[in-house]
Chains A and B, each alone.
Chain A
Amino acid sequence: MVETPGELSVETPSELKYVDTHEWIREEGGGVISIGITDYAQDSLGDVVYVELPEVGDQLEAGDEAGAVESVKAASDIYAPVSGEVVAFNEALEDAPEIINEFPYGDGWFFKMKMTDPAELDKLLSAEEYISSTEDDD
């Protein structure tokens, strides 16, 4: 099935960074970032029923597969937006993955990383740039 463009009323907070594979990135201070999936992504996936998250201590390069999110409809891979070490993952998602649908930018965060090179953040997309990348999808 192919989505047809509909009216989108999804949020894309301007204080976050993004990648075009639909992850958002929030700076938590001390070189640590948290990562989740965007409102646009959860809206496209529909009811999320399962997430696969990286483990604490995993060393990831930017673009590495870090996990997966599955809705009733489809599976989607999650990628590390920058290089670094996984320092935490959101255990609450194991029993209540639907949090991702309700609070994609809050309680629905996936995992946290300690960045190897904070300068990599400059390569990420702004909210505006991410929105225009999703418009290209349609």
Chain B
Amino acid sequence: MLSRTPLYSAHLKMAARMVDFGGWEMPLHYGSQIAEHHSVRRQCAMFDVSHMTIIDIKGEGASSYLGYLLANDTNKLAASRQALYSVMLNEEGGVIDDLMAYIIDDGFRLVLNSATRARDLEWMRAKASAFDVLIEERADLAMIAIQGPEAVTKVQTIVAEETGLLLGQLPRFSAMVIGDHHYARTGYTGEDGLEIMLPAQDAQTLWWQLHDAGVSPAGLGARDTLRLEAGLNLYGHEMDEHTSPLEANLAWTIAWQPEDRDFIGRRAVTAVRKQGVASKLVGVLMTERGVLRAQQKIYCAETEVSGVLTSGSFSPTLGYSIGLARMPVIAGDAGEVEIRGKRKPVRLLAPRFVRNGKALFD
């Protein structure tokens, strides 16, 4: 039996094509994945992301526990309402999961991937024994992401005036709690927008209010092409428990200071840092006809190295295919991809393609 979010019946009413996504019955699209993608880049759209794992960390030891558990430093959050992106490493410096951390009234809130839920919880509980903390999974919460240049103004039309004003002033990558609603100006699309965590029983009301305000739904298909255009990693593709964050463009998420903060994986990741990485994650552009897919191989004739695509798809914004690939650091900026036995030229570049509706390269 697949898990269903509180918005399941709304998806059926909206004629979604439902798929099994890591044990959750989720909308892939509501007719056209490409049209939904364009809605986010040009106006806005809403996603049901209630399958994500929400975990609250409370108690006297919450701060020191997270200082041990996460590679980024939640102490950076103490003085602000900022959101923090972090990886959770194993002792070998591999990525157990990536997550968002927020401050809430009486502790911290983490939002983790759904596919890794059981393993994450097991790991987090196993590492908590030395700390005075309460690890509370919030399965009672739903989460709706409204993403796109018009996202905030659309939400302002349906919330209380006071809340709307505060949302307008909420800086990008920050969050606030109003009553039992948690508003974060974050997302996974490369656009402005909000992620709203709220009691499950209120999710339908918010969803249909947004619908009545003219916000169309978007499925997991568009979510994937949007994150790929934005150059954002997907757990299980660009990183896993055998990948160093330093080889997944995530060096920026590791808080090396203060030096005496002993987080799990610090020793291993410090060793990789000193030694230097062998591979890097690059963006791949293919203007030839065809579609890049994960697992296809990339060959660089000049430097005589090869690598493999970790993600690939069609970019609706650019009109051709893009991907992310793990390549030896010496790879260079040109290569060939092999698709069904044929080689086609590709460009290798920094892994960010589109932000705020615009191409990021020449």
Rounded to whole Å, the gap between the CB of B237 and the closest CB of chain A is: 13
B28-A1 in contact (CB<8A): yes
Interface of B with A (CB < 8 Å)? 2, 17-21, 25, 28-29, 32-34, 221, 225, 289-291, 293, 313-314, 316, 340
The residues of B that contact A50 with a CB separation of less than 8 Å are: 289-291, 314
A47-B32 in contact (CB<8A): yes
Least CB separation from B36: chain A residue: A47
Contact count band on A: 10 to 19
The answer to the question of A123 belonging to the interface, with a C-beta cut-off of 8 Å to chain B, is no
The residues of B that contact A6 with a CB separation of less than 8 Å are: 17-18
Least CB separation from B225: chain A residue: A72
B291-A4 in contact (CB<8A): no
A-B contact pairs, 20 of them (CB 8 A): A1-B20, A1-B21, A3-B17, A4-B20, A4-B25, A6-B17, A46-B17, A46-B28, A47-B33, A47-B34, A50-B289, A50-B314, A52-B289, A52-B290, A52-B340, A70-B291, A73-B221, A75-B291, A75-B293, A94-B289
Q: With the chains together, A72 CA to B17 CA distance in Å?
A: 15
A49-B314 in contact (CB<8A): yes
Task: Select which of A1, A3, A49 is within 8 A of B291 by beta carbon.
Answer: A49
The answer to the question of A121 belonging to the interface, with a C-beta cut-off of 8 Å to chain B, is no
The residues of A that contact B221 with a CB separation of less than 8 Å are: 46, 72-73
Interface of A with B (CB < 8 Å)? 1-4, 6, 46-47, 49-50, 52, 68, 70, 72-73, 75, 94
The residues of A that contact B20 with a CB separation of less than 8 Å are: 1-4
The residues of B that contact A68 with a CB separation of less than 8 Å are: 340
Ranked nearest first, the 10 interchain pairs of A and B with the lowest CB-CB distance are A49-B314, A70-B291, A1-B19, A2-B20, A47-B34, A72-B314, A72-B33, A47-B33, A4-B18, A46-B33
The residues of A that contact B2 with a CB separation of less than 8 Å are: 4
The residues of A that contact B28 with a CB separation of less than 8 Å are: 1, 46, 73
Least CB separation from A70: chain B residue: B291
The residues of A that contact B293 with a CB separation of less than 8 Å are: 75
The residues of B that contact A3 with a CB separation of less than 8 Å are: 17, 19-20
The residues of A that contact B29 with a CB separation of less than 8 Å are: 46
Q: With the chains together, A94 CA to B290 CA distance in Å?
A: 11
Q: With the chains together, A52 CA to B289 CA distance in Å?
A: 9
Q: With the chains together, A73 CA to B33 CA distance in Å?
A: 9
Rounded to whole Å, the gap between the CB of A114 and the closest CB of chain B is: 25
Rounded to whole Å, the gap between the CB of A41 and the closest CB of chain B is: 14
Q: With the chains together, A70 CA to B34 CA distance in Å?
A: 14
Least CB separation from A44: chain B residue: B17
Rounded to whole Å, the gap between the CB of A90 and the closest CB of chain B is: 15
Q: With the chains together, A6 CA to B225 CA distance in Å?
A: 24
Given A4-B2, A47-B33, A50-B291; A72-B313 close (CB under 8 Å)? yes
Q: With the chains together, A95 CA to B223 CA distance in Å?
A: 25
Rounded to whole Å, the gap between the CB of A66 and the closest CB of chain B is: 12
Q: With the chains together, A46 CA to B19 CA distance in Å?
A: 13
Rounded to whole Å, the gap between the CB of B342 and the closest CB of chain A is: 9
Least CB separation from B19: chain A residue: A1
Least CB separation from A47: chain B residue: B34
Q: With the chains together, A73 CA to B225 CA distance in Å?
A: 9
Listed residue (A49, A50, A72, A75) with the most chain B CB atoms within 10 angstroms of its CB? A72
Given A2-B20, A4-B19, A6-B17; A72-B290 close (CB under 8 Å)? no
Q: With the chains together, A23 CA to B34 CA distance in Å?
A: 24
The residues of A that contact B19 with a CB separation of less than 8 Å are: 1-4
Q: With the chains together, A106 CA to B42 CA distance in Å?
A: 32
The residues of B that contact A72 with a CB separation of less than 8 Å are: 33-34, 221, 225, 291, 313-314, 316
Rounded to whole Å, the gap between the CB of B97 and the closest CB of chain A is: 20
Rounded to whole Å, the gap between the CB of B256 and the closest CB of chain A is: 38
The residues of B that contact A94 with a CB separation of less than 8 Å are: 289
Rounded to whole Å, the gap between the CB of B217 and the closest CB of chain A is: 15
The residues of A that contact B34 with a CB separation of less than 8 Å are: 47, 49, 72
Rounded to whole Å, the gap between the CB of A9 and the closest CB of chain B is: 10
Given A1-B28, A46-B33, A46-B221; A70-B290 close (CB under 8 Å)? yes
The residues of A that contact B21 with a CB separation of less than 8 Å are: 1
Rounded to whole Å, the gap between the CB of B268 and the closest CB of chain A is: 33
Q: With the chains together, A40 CA to B17 CA distance in Å?
A: 13
Q: With the chains together, A72 CA to B36 CA distance in Å?
A: 12
